[in-house]
Chain A
Amino acid sequence: MFQRLRRRISGTTVIMWLIGIAILAVVFWGTTATLSSGKYAGTQWMDLLVYGIAQGGIYALIALGYTLVYGVLRMINFAHSEVFMSGPYIGYYVAVALDRAGLLNRQPVLSLAVVILVAMSVSTTIAVLLERIAYRPLRRAPRLVPLITAIGASYFLSYAFLGLFGSDLKGYPEIQALKGTWNIMGIEMLRPQAVVIVAAVVMLAGLYFFVQRTKTGKAMQAVSEDKDCAALMGINVDRIIVITFAVGGALAGAAGVFYALLFKQVKFNMGFFPGIKAFTSAVLGGIGNVTGAMLGGMFLGIAESLFPNLVLDGLGIPAPYQLKDALAFILLVLVLIFRPTGILGERLAVKKA
């Protein structure tokens, strides 16, 4: 009997399981320590939760870009983080112009809509250009090549933006209507957070409807399943791929403006961490799976918000917020060890080493 067991479970699997269990034990220990010490009140947890949901919405929107592109092209669009950055960057100039004209505060809803639209169009343009220039010629290349191209494009875009627009701080102008808090359903939340949550949910619902119910959406699903078959069915694969990039770009642009609303400024490298975290969410939910990306994004946002205070504080680590960013990577490793197909997904075929 032991022989059969030994053959099925290799040494590396054992080590990986040990690592995973160790991490889970640490998390458990920290959580119980924090909760039993009662250091944080209920309202603080609620604040963190709301913040986490807002962040999660943003991650979900960006993650959709990753997941959709992965679905149709089987490649990770490393430069998607720069697509995310470019929208709000240009949106910043629009916002400043609107602010100078006084429209930003007189007509906040309309101005915000304009900024979001501009950001979405810029991001879409950059995404489509990326596909056309950097990815289309490499459709049939070995796996490493488009990935490296994506990395190069990502660096090019962020440093081009740095060079073109300068490295000074670009703080979004204050919108008076978004100062302060609202009391929604008994929960006190910051106004920008509320706006972001509502807008994100609307967009996610819209995208879900688009992918599931419209003809183009179904064509996208078809192309992600099997490109050649889709072509045989009369679907213009190139056009669908462009549309996929465009949709992903638009969502990322909107997410960028939301990010700017929450964090009040844009920088040339603001795309890096959200991009990685969004990719983690996409993998968490199952890469290639639209619902999975949404859920994964939400989960990561909430987890990241609660993690420092919930786990790290309990472990006695000083200044736990410094390690917040590490959570996304740790989650990624955990997911890829224990559930490589993600929570909802089955797309990726994992090779056993």
Chain B
Amino acid sequence: METINAQARFDWSVSFKTGLLGGIVALLVSLVGLVEASQNRPVISGIISFGQTLVLFVFVLSSIMAICRAGPDRWGKSRSPLLLCGGVAGALVGAVLAALVLIGSVINLRAVFIKASPELYNLLTMGLGAAGAAVLPVLGLCLGALVGATYLLSARLRRALGVALGAIPLLAILYSAFFPGRRFTLVGAIVLFAVLGVSSYFWSDFRGQLRKRVASLPPAGQRAYQIGLWVLVALIVLLLPVTGSYPSQMLDLVGLYILMGLGLNIVVGFAGLLDLGYVAFFALGAYTQAVLTSPEIGWLGGVHLTFWQALPFSVLVATLAGVILGIPVLGMRGDYLAIVTLGFGEIIRIVALSDWLKPYIGGSNGITRIPKPVVGPVELATPGTLYYLIIAGCLIAAFIATRLKNSRLGRAWMAIREDEDVAQAMGIDLVRTKLLAFATGAAFSGLSGSIFASMITSIYPHSFHLLVSINVLGLIIVGGMGSIPGVIFGSLALVGLPEILREFSEYRLLIYGVALVYMMLARPEGLLPEARRRLELHEAETKTIE
């Protein structure tokens, strides 16, 4: 009796602290404007919008964190501590939000926090106005208790519920993006929830059975199965542009970022050289392409090449730049390398923007009228047709990256990443290996830049901001450093999703920042890491098992 009471007595502080933290997060989310901005994106039409879903999400997450931090197995299956822990955390989150609403309706917070408007309060209290502030802690309590209750169920059921609930807002967004104007209805959402829940519950069983059946097939059959899967994926990928011009544009951008990501993956992921000036090579590729092909540029003596003729030159220029920029940084370690490469990227942008080079490369007016690529009789003018060019580029890059990864050079890169001194002692030529890493990464980026230039037909120095480098870095981190499926996933998540969620564009970097910090704290190897990396980064955990 006594021990159970002693344990139950302790859960207050954890739930309190987690709830308070969650409350501050909810406060931040609301005051920054995320809730209001997503107002027009209903998840279930007429009932709940994405913004409100975000707030609910904070409630649920706080309760989960509170329970996890107190120790999910601590109370076994005893009901009251679980419910209490989750409920208190949720209630606190609600209390903080209620405080905001109450204070805000008395004092005008708008002078300082410009998003603290009555509309916000209305949204937060689900349309009940300032008087409904009392609803929030109660809502938090109920939600938190519900979350606590789910811990009484089996882990599998809980995971199924989580996946089903979490997927609905995501699917709602994708649905409204690919089929504009359509929304989920309440009935539709419930059906979707049921389907997702059931399928995710049986997913692991299904996967196990599938694996067994495939393994029991003869080798020819297994080959056929693999090929079948790849054909399916290829069909989906090749047929995506039919969804329309807007999704194709988005996919084009995703593809370009995948290309850049594959390049940076080599520099950062394989070789461990944190290059923050990656946009410089992108810019050089784009500018070379533009200068060589645009009819506006006259100082080359009237030479105007086609896209295909200029492409090797722009890749070459970018590669050379990679080598040149790589030489001074050979002796530098991670932090310095990052800042110096960042400096290079900024130098290139500042110089491109300046009046000094304006007669040559257009300065702040940029270069316009860049021709699109022409394949035989067909001009790749629309985003849909360019998509195939980009896919081709990505395939080539992925092929090169995969072959390099498993080659001697790739292993040399990974050795450098781990410990330069030991690698050198093992006989790896650091200069050559590092320069090759920079050069290859720069080549991919140059390729991406030249396709970008002809895709948007006019380039300005503003397109080559540091943010591009940070974007690419972010998608590698989130996707998984050194892993090619990770790059693809990261690009879809970090480039594709913001393109769909246009109203979030001003919060994009805020979310990037949070995502980077969170990934580094929780899962530094990324979401789809290569196995070796995951082992490396969780070495401490595996060691303790011994």
Q: Interface of A with B (CB < 8 Å)?
A: 10, 12, 15-16, 19, 75-76, 93, 133-134, 137-138, 140-149, 151-160, 162-166, 168, 276, 279, 283, 317-319, 322-323, 325-326, 328-330, 332-333, 336-337, 340, 348, 350-353
Flag whether B202 is at the interface (Cβ < 8 A). Answer: no
Tell me the bound Cα distance from A137 to B351 in angstroms: 40
Docked CA distance A159–B470 (Å): 14
Complex CA–CA separation, A326 to B483 (angstroms): 35
**Do residues B512 and A333 form an inter-chain contact, with CB atoms below 8 A?**
no
A326:B513 contact, CB within 8 angstroms: no
The reply to whether A326 and B516 form a contact with Cβ atoms under 8 Å apart is: no
10 nearest CB pairs, A to B: A152-B516, A156-B513, A329-B343, A163-B32, A353-B330, A155-B513, A159-B510, A166-B114, A152-B517, A149-B520
Contact at A147–B274, with CB atoms within 8 Å? yes
Bitwise interface map of B from 28 to 54 toward A, beta carbon under 8 Å scored 1, else 0: 100111100000000000000000000
Does B516 contact A351, Cβ atoms closer than 8 Å?
Answer: no
27 A/B residue pairs, CB under 8 Å, sorted by A: A76-B338, A141-B524, A143-B334, A143-B335, A148-B520, A155-B509, A156-B513, A158-B509, A160-B28, A162-B510, A163-B115, A165-B113, A168-B114, A276-B342, A319-B354, A322-B350, A326-B346, A326-B347, A326-B351, A333-B340, A333-B344, A351-B331, A351-B421, A352-B331, A353-B330, A353-B331, A353-B434
CA A145 to CA B540, docked complex, whole Å: 15
Contact partner, B356, options A75, A158, A319, A336, Cβ 8 Å: A319
> Do A155 and B516 contact each other (CB < 8 Å), given the known contacts A319-B355, A319-B356, A350-B332?
yes
Q: Which residues of B lie under 8 Å from residue A162 when comparing CB positions?
A: 506, 510
Decide: B513 and A165 in contact? CB cutoff 8 A. no
Residue of B nearest to A312 (CB): B356
List B contacts of A146 (CB < 8 A): 520
> Which of B34, B113, B336, B514 is within 8 Å of A152, CB to CB?
B514
Within 228-271 of B, Cβ neighbours of A (below 8 Å) are at: 268
**Docked-complex contact B520 and A156, CB < 8 angstroms:** no
Does residue B320 face the partner (Cβ distance < 8 Å to A)? no
Across the interface, which residues of B come within 8 angstroms of A142, CB to CB?
Answer: 537
A153's closest neighbor in chain B, by CB? B517
Q: Are B327 and A163 in contact, with the CB atoms below 8 A?
A: no
- Which residues of B have CB within 8 Å of A351? 331-333, 420-421
* Residues 38-73 (chain B) with a chain A CB within 8 angstroms: none
Give a binary string over B512-546; 1 marks a CB under 8 Å from any A CB, 0 the rest. Answer: 11111100110010000000000001001000000
Q: Is the CB of B113 within 8 A of A12?
A: no
Closest to A320 in B: B356
Do A159 and B338 have beta carbons less than 8 Å apart? Answer: no
| A residues in contact with B517, CB < 8 Å | 133-134, 149, 152-153, 156
Q: How far is the CA of A155 from the CA of B516 in the complex (A)?
A: 9
Residues of A within 8 A of B335 (CB): 75-76, 143, 147
Interface residues in B305-359 by Cβ distance below 8 A to A read 327-336, 338-340, 342-344, 346-347, 350-351, 353-356
CB contacts (< 8 Å) of B31 on chain A: these are 163-164
Dominant SS at the A interface?
A: helix
* Residues on the A chain within 8 Å of B388, using CB: none
Chain A residues, CB < 8 A from B513: 151-157, 159-160
Q: How far is the CB of A336 from chain B (nearest CB, A)?
A: 6
B431 lies within 8 A of A353 (CB): yes
**Docked complex: B473-500 residues within 8 A CB-CB of A:** 473-474, 477
Q: Taking A138-B520, A329-B347, A332-B340 as contacts, is the C-beta distance between A159 and B509 under 8 angstroms?
A: yes
- Kindly identify which residue among B331, B355, B512 contacts A155, using a CB–CB cutoff of 8 Å: B512
A142 to B419, CA, bound (A): 11
The listed residue (A149, A151, A340) touching B331 by CB distance below 8 A is: A340
Q: What CA separation (Å) do A276 and B347 show in the bound complex?
A: 12
Which residue of the partner chain B has the closest CB to A143? B334
New A-B pairs, 14, CB < 8 Å, besides A153-B517, A319-B355: A12-B327, A76-B339, A143-B335, A152-B512, A152-B513, A152-B520, A160-B28, A160-B513, A162-B510, A318-B355, A333-B340, A348-B333, A352-B331, A353-B430
B112 on the interface (CB 8 Å rule)?
yes
B515 touches A322 (CB 8 A): no
* Chain A nearest Cβ from B436, distance in angstroms: 13
* A137-B521, A337-B328 as given contacts; A332 in contact with B339, CB under 8 Å: yes
A319 vs B363: C-alpha distance when bound (angstroms): 12
Q: Does B384 contact A (CB under 8 A)?
A: no
Size class of the contact patch on chain B: 35 or more
- Among residues of B, the one whose C-beta sits closest to the C-beta of A130 is B517
Set of chain B residues within 8 Å of A328, measured between Cβ atoms: 343
User: When the two chains form their complex, are residues B521 and A138 in contact, meaning their CB atoms are under 8 A apart?
Assistant: yes
User: Can you name the residue of chain A whose Cβ is closest to the Cβ of B344?
Assistant: A329
Judge whether B373 is part of the interface by a CB distance below 8 angstroms: no
Is A279 touching B339 in the complex (CB atoms < 8 A)? yes
Contacts of A76 in B (CB 8 A): 335, 338-339
Interface check B507, CB cutoff 8 A: yes
Establish whether residues B355 and A322, one from each chain, have CB atoms under 8 Å apart when the complex forms.
yes
- Say which residue of A140, A151, A164, A340 sits within 8 Å of B473 (CB atoms): A151
**Cα distance A140–B34 in the bound complex, in angstroms:** 34
Closest to B433 in A: A353
Evaluate contact between B33 and A163: CB separation under 8 angstroms: yes
Say yes or no: B354 contacts A156, CB within 8 Å.
no
Interface centre among A76, A153, A163, A330 (most CB of B within 10 A): A163
Which of the listed residues B32, B351, B515, B537 has the most CB atoms from chain A within 10 Å of its own CB? Answer: B32
CA distance A233 to B420 in the complex (A): 33
Bound Cα distance A137, B522 (Å): 10
**How many angstroms from the CA of A133 to the CA of B517 in the assembled complex?**
9
User: Which residues of the other chain, A, contact B516 by a CB distance below 8 angstroms?
Assistant: 148-149, 151-152, 155
Task: Identify B336's interface contact among A141, A149, A168, A283, CB under 8 A.
Answer: A283
Q: Is the CB of B334 within 8 A of A147?
A: yes
Which residues of chain B have C-beta atoms less than 8 A from A141's C-beta?
A: 520, 524
Residues of A near B537 (CB, < 8 A) are: 142
Instruction: Please give, as numbers and ranges, the residues of chain B lying within 8 Å of A353 by CB-CB distance.
Output: 330-331, 430-431, 434
CB pair A325 B506 closer than 8 Å: no
Are A336 and B520 closer than 8 Å at their CB atoms? no
State in angstroms the CA–CA spacing of A75 and B350 once bound together: 27
Given known A-B contacts A152-B516, A160-B32, A318 and B356 have beta carbons under 8 A apart: yes
Complex Cα–Cα for A44 and B353 (A): 27
Q: Return the contact of B113 from the options A149, A164, A276, A337 (Cβ within 8 A).
A: A164
Chain A residue with Cβ nearest B37: A163
Q: What's the Cα separation between A149 and B514 when bound, in Å?
A: 9
* Nearest CB in chain A to that of B467: its residue: A155
Q: Is the CB of B510 within 8 A of A155?
A: yes
Q: Which single member of B274, B421, B470, B510 contacts A144 (CB below 8 Å)? A: B274
Residue of A nearest to B507 (CB): A163
A9 → B minimal CB distance (Å): 13
Interfacial chain A residues near B330, Cβ < 8 Å: 12, 353
A163 and B339 contact, CB distance less than 8 A: no
Q: Which of B363-399 contact A (CB under 8 A)?
A: none
A142, B330: Cα distance in complex, Å: 19
| In the complex, chain B residues whose CB is within 8 Å of the CB of A133 | 517
B272 contacts chain A at the CB level, 8 A cutoff: yes
